[in-house]
């Protein structure tokens, strides 16, 4: 670890830090020199992460809040501000997922996802921004998803919340930039986290690695550290000219056309025959070879 990290002396609040991406972001922020307030709802991995951070010589504490209750979300912001003495970096990672056929989604499920993924984050951020303006500015990094950019069956509600975060990031970024606050977002692709083993029947490391090699252009799935390092960059001075953007970190998944799934095999198609120099029909080439 560097003696002085990219976030040396910074004070950060990371929501949803009990597991997966959020927990790793909190740890990486500490490795890069930040003091960290960690939020959790049910998963108490944030407490062990806080202990690990204190072992690095940083200040850290874990706070519980249910984002379905907007008062608890705002209260979390206040607790973090009081503990840290201000906030330089806010990482809005807390969120929940649901996959369900559109016609089966209940009002309660819809409201819960939007309350947790959008409303709670929005009003927590509002309180943090008030603090940042009092202390000369800061940086906000929102976690969205490639589900906000591409369609997937049975994810209409979840994708709706992630699309909302992308739009809200863009607008808030241009509203606050001249006041010294930068706002950006990260849209992760396939990042293997603990929840996969709970939610996906038969999920295992060997088969997962094989599937990722076949489906993801970079030939592997992502890890929480891949996203944590990007979050550090966006919250550091290295990214001071980046505003209102959603950075996709997905190993090339969204860059790949879904019409070409077998991207490692040379195509047998020959587009351009008859009007692009040097492009000939395969049958004609084979006949010449036979002669």
Q: How far apart are CA 284 and CA 22, in angstroms?
A: 57
Q: How many residues does the chain have?
A: 291
In the chain, the domains with their CATH numbers are 11-258 (3.40.50.720)
The residue whose two tokens read 């407490």 is 47
Whole-number pLDDT of residue 1? 42
Residue 289's pLDDT band, with cuts at 50, 70 and 90, is low
> pTM of this prediction?
0.91
Whole-number pLDDT of residue 2? 44
Of the residues 40, 158, 168, 221, which is catalytic? 158
Instruction: Provide mean pLDDT across the span 248-258.
Output: 94
Residue 233 CA to its chain's centroid (Å): 13
Active site residue 196: no
pLDDT tens digits along 129-166: 999 999 999 999 999 999 999 999 999 999 999 999 99
Whole-number pLDDT of residue 290? 55
């Amino acid at each position: 670890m560097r003696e002085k990290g990219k976030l040396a002396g910074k004070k950060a609040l990371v929501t949803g830090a009990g597991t997966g991406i959020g927990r790793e972001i909190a740890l990486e922020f500490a490795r890069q020199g930040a003091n960290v307030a960690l939020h959790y709802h049910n998963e108490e991995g944030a407490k062990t992460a806080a202990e690990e951070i204190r072992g690095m010589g940083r200040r850290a504490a874990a706070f519980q809040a249910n984002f379905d209750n907007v008062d608890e979300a705002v209260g979390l912001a206040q607790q973090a501000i009081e503990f840290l003495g201000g906030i330089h970096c806010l990482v809005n990672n807390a969120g929940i997922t649901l996959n369900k056929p559109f016609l089966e989604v209940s009002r309660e499920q819809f409201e819960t996802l939007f309350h947790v993924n959008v409303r709670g984050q929005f009003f927590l951020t509002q309180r943090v921004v008030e603090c940042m303006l009092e202390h000369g500015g800061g940086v906000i990094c929102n976690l969205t998803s490639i589900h906000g950019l591409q369609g997937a069956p049975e994810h209409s509600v979840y994708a709706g919340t992630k699309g909302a975060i992308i739009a809200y990031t863009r607008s808030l970024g241009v509203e606050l930039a001249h006041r010294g606050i930068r706002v950006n977002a990260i849209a992760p692709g396939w990042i293997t986290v603990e929840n996969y083993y709970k939610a996906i029947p038969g999920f295992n490391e060997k088969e997962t690695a094989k599937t990722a090699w076949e489906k993801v252009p970079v030939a592997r799935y992502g890890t929480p550290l891949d996203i944590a390092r990007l979050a550090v960059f966006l919250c550091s001075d290295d990214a001071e000219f980046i505003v209102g953007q959603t950075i996709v970190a997905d190993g090339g998944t969204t860059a790949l056309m879904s019409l070409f799934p077998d991207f490692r095999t040379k195509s047998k198609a020959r587009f351009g025959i008859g009007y692009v120099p040097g492009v000939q029909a395969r049958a004609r080439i084979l006949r010449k070879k036979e002669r």
